[in-house]
Amino acid sequence: MATSTDTGPTGGRYVAEFREFLEETWLGYALILPALILMGVIIIYPTLRGIQLAFFEASLLNPEQQTFVGLQNFAELLGDATFREALWHTVLLTSVAVSLQYLLGLGLALALKEKVPGAGLFRSLSMVTWVLPVIVMVIIFRFLTQSGFGPVNIILDSLGMQTAAWFGRPGVAFPLIVLMHVWRNTPFYAIALMAAMKSIPETQYEAARLDGAGPLQRFRYITLPQISYVSMIMIVLHVIFTFNNFDIIFLSTGGGPLGNTEVLATYIYKQAFQQYAMGYAASIGVVMLIIMMVFTIVYASLEARE
């Protein structure tokens, strides 16, 4: 029996167009292929493997022995008081730290934009907090608040006030964590926002002044809309960084005292490398991934509408 293929006028035209498309674009696809393979190896595969692991009961001590448990890990999260507390601390730390960083950075940017004395020196020194290794920053803060010889306690003692090892005090350790985040990131916000403000043509402010607009009106209707894109990028990136932050908290308090600074990132570490519950730790990671994806999509959509 003879066989036939679609080689009519229409099929032949599609084949010719496809061949022409390949001839024109194969070099471009070939050039990006190494980058795609690299992304697949270091991003896509680990992400998919982590999501898959969340549906298994797996131990770090016996990684080859895995049992499919479906949604059991996620169901256990609902009844895990430590997980709920870590989730609350993570959300609180992210919202407070990022809000303070943005507002303080915006205030500094407005001040530096007006050519105040010492602005150039501040711009030069401001990046020190950003480039300083996290471990050095933690050592500095722990030294400042150290019981006995820390400068903060020396000043408090001279004023007749209570002294203590503040990182070990429930109720104080968490605000210190927030303070370290703000100290580290605020100058970076200020520099980025100031750069965005300097790109606004001065003629717009002059026209607004001629129309009788005051400083608040010029800020509301000229400055704020034109720095909104930079603001969105800064806020989204720092929300993701802070929500996933591990090193500052783990190096300074380890999640203590009494779990007062426990966040999702440190809880994942303890579940994976101290309790060896890799599947349970992966399920917490999936929850973090979903929260961050929802936040990014919602925030970007709201910003696009404006």
Query: What's the pLDDT tens digit per position in 74-129?
Result: 999 999 999 999 999 999 999 999 999 999 999 988 888 877 777 777 777 777 88
pLDDT of residue 294: 92
pLDDT of residue 3: 44
pTM greater than 0.75 (yes/no) = yes
Residue 28 has phi, psi (to 5 degrees) of: -65, -45
Contacts of 192 (CB under 8 A, 6+ apart): 105, 230, 234
Query: Would the pLDDT of 247 be above 60?
Result: yes
Query: What's the pLDDT tens digit per position in 198-208?
Result: 889 989 988 98
Please give the angle made by the CA atoms of 104, 108 and 113, to the nearest 5 degrees: 150
| Out of 2-11, 155-164, 209-218, 290-299, least confident range | 2-11
Average confidence (pLDDT) over 45-54: 93
Query: Would the pLDDT of 4 be above 50?
Result: no
The CA distance from 228 to 234, in Å, is: 10
- Which band of pLDDT confidence, cut at 50, 70 and 90, is reported for residue 19? confident
pLDDT of residue 9: 57
Radius of gyration of the chain (CA): 27
pLDDT, mean over the chain? 88
Q: What percent of the chain has pLDDT over 90?
A: 49
pLDDT of residue 10: 60
Query: Would the pLDDT of 54 be above 60?
Result: yes
- Which band of pLDDT confidence, cut at 50, 70 and 90, is reported for residue 2? very low
- Which band of pLDDT confidence, cut at 50, 70 and 90, is reported for residue 306? low
Long-range pairs of 5-8 with CB within 8 A, sequence gap ≥ 24: none
Query: 282, 109, 265, 84: which is closest to 177 by C-alpha?
Result: 265
